């Protein structure tokens, strides 16, 4: 008979509790994650591809450049992973407040249990969702839009790298988001800071003196770069190192999340 360690059993129960709390027709998964992480990136990808394919088949002065595999899943990385991160950040902040927070402290006295469970639940969800959409995108684009996306190939070296690395980036991004949320402690502020950092700070930091050097240390851009996506950023440790760097920041932020959660419980 196999005996499951008590810590593993506690985390398992916490993951199940997270699934129940966010499920249902009015739960976070159906009202936020499904439209934002699934429908939106697929819709944007289809619209961009349709417009590009249209311009490529008509006589016009607009030149449409063929898109390769390394640029085929940009909107998946941009929207899908970020929406899962926002969902994780919101839940982490909201779960530590009021009656919900009191109940969580009773059911799971160790703060690290709930933080780890959210990383597993939201990180796993983000990884599965993002890689599934990426595979679907890389299969569909060359079939329906051959003029512009004919070179996209799922089984190429770049396509297979996406399949392997997108889950790693998604899990790391969620881990970073949990740390941000635990440190801030307010649901709305956590989501606002997270979105501002991902879409504004990391992309505009290049405008300040030595900005391109600083941009090479941005965690989310490192993660995206590590998947093989073509972006204008040059981390000092290369494409594989960028993925490791993002994962290292995620572990650090997870430790911060556990520490901040423990302080709030006191």
**For 137-180, what is each residue's pLDDT tens digit?**
999 999 999 999 999 999 999 999 999 999 999 999 999 999 99
pLDDT digits (tens, 9 = 90+) for 209-254: 888 889 999 999 999 999 999 888 888 899 999 999 999 999 999 9
CA–CA separation, 37 and 29 (whole Å): 10
- Domains of the chain, residue spans: 11-265
pLDDT digits (tens, 9 = 90+) for 41-81: 999 999 999 999 888 888 566 677 888 999 999 999 999 99
Q: Is the pTM higher than 0.85? A: yes
What integer pLDDT is reported at residue 130 of this predicted model? 97
């Amino acid at each position: 008979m196999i005996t499951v360690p008590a810590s593993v059993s506690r985390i398992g129960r916490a993951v199940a509790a997270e699934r129940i709390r966010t499920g249902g027709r009015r739960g976070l998964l159906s009202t936020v994650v499904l439209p934002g992480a699934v429908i939106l990136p697929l819709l944007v990808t289809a619209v961009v591809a349709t417009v590009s394919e249209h311009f490529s088949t008509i006589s016009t002065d607009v030149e449409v450049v063929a898109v390769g595999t390394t640029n085929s899943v940009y909107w998946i990385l941009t929207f899908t992973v970020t929406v899962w991160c926002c969902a994780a950040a919101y839940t982490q902040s909201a779960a530590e407040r009021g009656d919900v927070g009191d109940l969580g402290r009773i059911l799971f006295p160790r703060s690290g249990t709930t933080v780890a469970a959210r990383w597993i639940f939201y990180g796993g969800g983000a990884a599965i969702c993002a890689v599934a959409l990426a595979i679907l995108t890389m299969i569909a684009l060359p079939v329906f839009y051959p003029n512009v996306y004919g070179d996209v190939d799922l089984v190429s070296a770049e396509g297979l790298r996406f399949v392997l690395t997108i889950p790693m980036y998604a899990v790391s991004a969620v881990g970073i988001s949990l740390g941000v949320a635990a440190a801030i402690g307010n649901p709305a502020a956590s989501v606002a800071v997270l979105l501002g950092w991902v879409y504004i700070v990391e992309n505009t930091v290049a405008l300040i003196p030595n900005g391109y050097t600083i941009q090479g240390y941005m965690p989310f851009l490192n993660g995206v770069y590590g998947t093989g996506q073509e972006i204008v950023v040059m981390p000092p440790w290369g494409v594989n190192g960028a993925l490791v760097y993002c994962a290292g920041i995620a572990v650090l932020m997870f430790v911060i999340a556990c520490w901040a959660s423990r302080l709030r419980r006191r």
